[in-house]
Structure 1
Amino acid sequence: MSSDNDAQALDVFELLLTSEILNQYENLDMDDLPAKFRDISGTTGCNTDIERPVVVSESIADRILCTGKSYELVRKNPFVTFDDFGKRLGISALDAAAGWFSKQDAMERIEKNPVLAYYFEKSGLGGISYEKSKSSIVRFRDSKEYLKARIDEIVGDDEELKIASSLIIISAPEEVEHSIDDLVCTHRQEEALRKINIALKNRDYLKERRIYELGKLLFVGPPGTGKTSLALAMSKKLKMPLLEVRLAMVTSQYLGETSKNIDRIFDLARRLSPCILFIDEFDFVAKSRISDDNGAMKRAVNMLLKNIDTISFVKNGVLLIGATNHPRLLDDAAWRRFDDVVEFPLPDYEMRREILKKITRELDCTCDYDELAEETDGFSGADLRIMIKESLISALMRDSYEMNESDIEQGMGTVKDRDTIRQSVSI
């Protein structure tokens, strides 16, 4: 048998072993299944339970594994059974089959499949950790598949909630590309994240003692300093979907819909909890409050502030994050509604150096990080990313994957030109 066939045969056997373990241990659910095997669960929508008994027919195995010969690949294995009438595959003796599987250079498969890891840990196989295996995969509840099903279930035929869902950008933890480890955070930002993490783990304790003044954060700082990036990374870290709202996009001049839209968005967040509600462009509140000629906008702002008052991370499981580039525009009424203000300054020398190292860690770059950090004084994190992107493009245009000093100068010049144009164009 070819090596490709050997690997495919182990794929089939792993699938059968997984289904047999699921049938014997009913405490395992969808969050224990690797994404590649979720179709055997019989579950639809956002249900995390698994329909038992789990049955693997030849056609199901072929579809999941993208092969047209599942039974043919394993028919000579002494532990595989086959029902000719129902075309069902199975395992005859779990302990013996698992022992055989563990000797087939399958350790990596076991470590990346929590169902197998659970069984092998219980069986005393050294070095196998169920919890470690589970943390290595994307939980079903963190997937965009689950989030879509949950939103569909919540919204249903409710036209108002349909409108709300169309006004926000909803991201599942699985969809977030960057983690906290990819960011260079200030001490204050790290502290805010630790507080929220502790509050999340102790929500019941805090609720019993009526300590609710947690989980309303205001991110303040210039554009490009990482406010949105940290909110997204928190979604991944805390395993909570993120609902991103840009207030300017929610406003409507027709029939007073703006006020209703804000109410609908908060209603959807409460129903979708636990989640993060990220309100960008929060300075829109201030701009609307000082305007005397738009009563609808003032009503909308009052509705926003009222909803902020009634939302609670401890009570409702909604972590509220407001973000603004212009904190001086916010009046006391807006400021006092947040229990924690987190500053996002332009990065200093040390931060720029670390950001550059993280951006280029998977790239070939001959730059001097100390010198480059000095030369990029005043650059935001976003500016540094644009600079490296342009430097890479410059290298690729030379048919090279390695960025040299000339490429870096090209990228730096692009950023400076962008800033010059921005400063010279009157708005």
Structure 2
Amino acid sequence: MLIKAVRTFEKDQTKGDITKISNIAKERKMSNPRVVDGTIGALYNDDGHFFAFKSIDNVIDKLQDIDKYPYAPINGGAIYQTQVLQWVFGPFLARVVAEKHLAVCATPGGTGALSIALYHYLDINETLLIPDLNWPVYEHLAKEFGINVSTYHLFRDDCFNIEGFIEAADAIVKKEGKLVTIINNPNHNPTGFSMTYEDLYQLGDYFKRLEEENIPVVFIYDVAYIDYWDYQNGRKGLNIVCDYGKNVLTLVTFSASKSFGIYGMRLGALIAINQEEKVIEDFRTWSTVACRTRWGTPNRIALSIFNQIVTNKEDRDEFMSELKKAQELLFNRSDFFIRKVKEYNIPIYPYQGGFFAIIKVQDSLHLYEYLKDLDIFGVPFDSGFRLALSSMSIKDIDKTLIAIRQYFEIYRM
């Protein structure tokens, strides 16, 4: 008798299978250090070594047993809940707190936040709206929970496609009487695109129209890469989305794992914002139970690291100095990448910065195989070929783009 899971996934898919391809690249690099690995969504130095924050190491060395081994509070605890709001919203927190009700739930990374948000605000056979260019895990989560996925073209004339968003959203609203959508901003994965303030205001205008029709909206704002964007501009975007109407429950998903470079120590937050206290009280009730049953408690060491960094001035100053260096490292790669794709006439989707960029190509699997033969690795998506600039030195970026230019010259695709 063959026992199979009632919910399962297709195997041996290459497109979008980031983990599988990354493992292939790592194995190849063990035998050949010259392999270019453009698959890793983590920050590496130009020498190929992981970018480790010394300030984080210093904090870890100071942690006592009580800070490492006991169970952590299910919701993260009072210090974390207070400080993560301060960290995420920065100078705009006071205004948001004065005008809205908020609640925080500690999660294992941004993925944990997304997981419980989708599970609790969409029922089986209801629909999640996401752009056609998206992080594949969104669709994996939806499939796991029996949720349908509707997509819209993210870009129109290299700008955010508000018309396409509204058309797709209206179709869902007409059928289901509600809207749940995810926007990843700034530094969108996988394109590196960041929305303008006007884009965010236009979304708010549309949600206002839905409010007049008594349509509830759950707006999931994924800010996983916010700390690798301009500090003030990234937080101002948050300030805008927190100003949406009372029919909009804004759920901010934050990844401390990425911001603090502790990718393997899973820590994040799901932050709920709404004008109605009852809406937020409902969030507090279900999120406490969901966290307990889904993963138990957050990572104690990661929680202690975050709390120590943000509450101790000396540790915070040291970390912020290193974070600035990390940002500059990525900014320099971004500038080089943008300059070279123009020079080499390589088509890309709009990219302003961030960990990832997408090469426009008709057959991304064909490009993947071509580059793999040259010991260069990226990730083929249905919509293009993703490169993780976060893990590539400027030398590796140039080597990769030269190879891609040659590919286009050979195949004229």
Q: Same fold (TM over 0.5)?
A: no
Larger radius of gyration: 1
Name the TM-score, length of structure 1 as normaliser.
0.29
Name the TM-score, length of structure 2 as normaliser.
0.30
| Structure with the higher fraction of residues in helix conformation | 1
